[in-house]
Structure formats: structure tokens, C-alpha cells
Amino acid sequence: MATKLNQIIAVEKGVKSKSFQDLTEAHHSVQKAPLLSGISRTYQPKDEEGEQLPAESTRVQVKVDDVLRDMSTSLTRLFDVTATKDWANCVARADVTVDGTTLVRDAPVTYLLFLEKQLKDLQTFVRKLPVLDAAEAWTHDASTDVWRTEPVRTVKTKKVPRNHVKAEATEKHPAQVEVYYEDVPVGYWTTVKFSGALPAKRVNELLERLEKLQNAVKFAREEANGTEVTDQRVGEAVFSYLFG
């Protein structure tokens, strides 16, 4: 049964992790000098009446050749899996098609991954675009190429002092007068609001297009990742040269 690119991608992370672990263990083991060392000692007294002592020995627990061989086996798997993926990425391609229209032809997997990230960033940007205030009625002004409201007329008033006689003057007391202010119309304001924001409908349309394109790119990536791969065997040659 043929292996597909997505299957190689699925196992690559585990192979990387195991290779890193094996390499770390190999590094630590060859740094422990006592494990690399052995000794054998026997004792013979000067004469027959001398004390007899047992022989002593320490076995070599780590051999660098064995460590190199085991490490080479682990890294060979990593080199082969990565080579298989990278070789396949050179030929794994797919079209990005939206609503029957092909926007990008024969896109390689690496470019499709780039597109996915860029579209996600664009989506974040579009979601935060300013929209026109829904409380106003807007029309597009062709002369200024912005949105505008209908003119609204409001009255401009001015406070004018008025006197209110609370009590008429008498022979003994002056008149009691209270001053108050009255709003008197003096003119009219005509206000038109302008905006460079977008209608909510337009922003929603952009988000819908983005989502469609994102889905098309994901579909293309899955299609490209379904490409059959040819197993590459490069690790053995590399490590035969290095440690052979």
C-alpha cells in the first residue's frame, strides 16, 4: 500500500522527538568516564604464607562504537523521514478553487501553508474594520467618494434676558424685579455627517469571501498532502560516511 504525504507528516514529529531523545542520551552516556573504563587486577603474595586477596575487576559499560551505531540507527530514520517529506513537498501540488474559479494553480504545500497564515491575519484585520453608524441613514457621495447623511436642520438659539416684575413699586418700596433668560431663535444649523467607514454589509461580504478562500486553501492542502510519496533512503549513506 502506497504511503501518502500526510502519513509521513503525521509520524515526523514522533520520529524527531525520539531522535532528539536518543541523541541526548548518547551525549550523556559518552560524557560519563567511569562507564567507559574497565580494570582487571589479580593479587599474588610474595610467598606461600602471604595473605591471599581476591581479584578485582570493573567491566566497561559503555562502548563509544556501540553508542555511535545506535545513534546512527535512530538518526537514519529521522533523515529518511524528513527527506521523504521534503522530496514529496517538491511534487505535492493542488489548485485553489472558489465557486468553480481557480485562483491559484499547482500551488505547492509550502505555499498553501503560507496562504493559510496570511488569510488568518487578514481575517483578523477585516473583523476590526470600522463600520458606518447603524443609527444614521447613509448614502454614497460620488463627488467626495465618502458616505454622507441627509442634511439635518437645527435651530440656533440665544439666551436673552427678560424682566419679571414680582411686585409693583410703591411709595415705600421699589419694584421687585426678577431677571430670567429666554431662548430666542437667532438662526439655523444645517448638518451633514461624512464617514470613510464601510457599510456593515460590505464588511460581512469581505469576511464571507475570506472564509470561502480559507476553506478552499485548506481543501487544496489536504489534496496536496494526499500525494503518494517515494520513500527516500539517504541516512544510511550519510552515517556510513560519517562513522564508517
Give the pLDDT confidence score for residue 241 in this predicted structure: 93
Say whether both 120 and 213 belong to one domain: yes
Per-residue pLDDT tens over the stretch 157-184: 999 988 887 777 777 778 788 888 899 9
Mean pLDDT score of the chain, rounded to an integer? 91
Range of the domain at 129: 95-138+200-225
Instruction: Answer whether residue 1 shows pLDDT above 70.
Output: no
Residue 145 falls inside a structural domain: no
Say whether both 158 and 48 belong to one domain: no
Say whether both 218 and 174 belong to one domain: no
Q: Which of 233, 242, 209, 229 is nearest to 2 (CA)?
A: 229
Residue 146 falls inside a structural domain: no
Say whether both 21 and 57 belong to one domain: yes
Say whether both 45 and 125 belong to one domain: no
Say whether both 122 and 181 belong to one domain: no
Per-residue pLDDT tens over the stretch 17-42: 999 999 999 888 888 888 788 889 88
Say whether both 101 and 172 belong to one domain: no
Cβ partners under 8 Å of residue 56, min gap 6: 39, 40, 41
Say whether both 163 and 131 belong to one domain: no
Say whether both 28 and 40 belong to one domain: yes
Positions of E strands within 13-110: 39-41, 56-58, 93-98, 101-108
Residues 179, 161 contacting (CB under 8 angstroms): yes
Q: Which three cell numbers stand for residue 137?
A: 441613514
Torsion of CA 139, 143, 144, 146, to 10 degrees: 20
Per-residue pLDDT tens over the stretch 102-134: 999 999 999 999 999 999 999 999 999 999 999
Give CA–CA dist 103/147, Å, rounded: 32
Residue 67 falls inside a structural domain: yes
Calculate helix-pair angle for 5-31, 200-225, nearest 10 degrees.
Answer: 70
Say whether both 113 and 219 belong to one domain: yes
Say whether both 110 and 4 belong to one domain: no
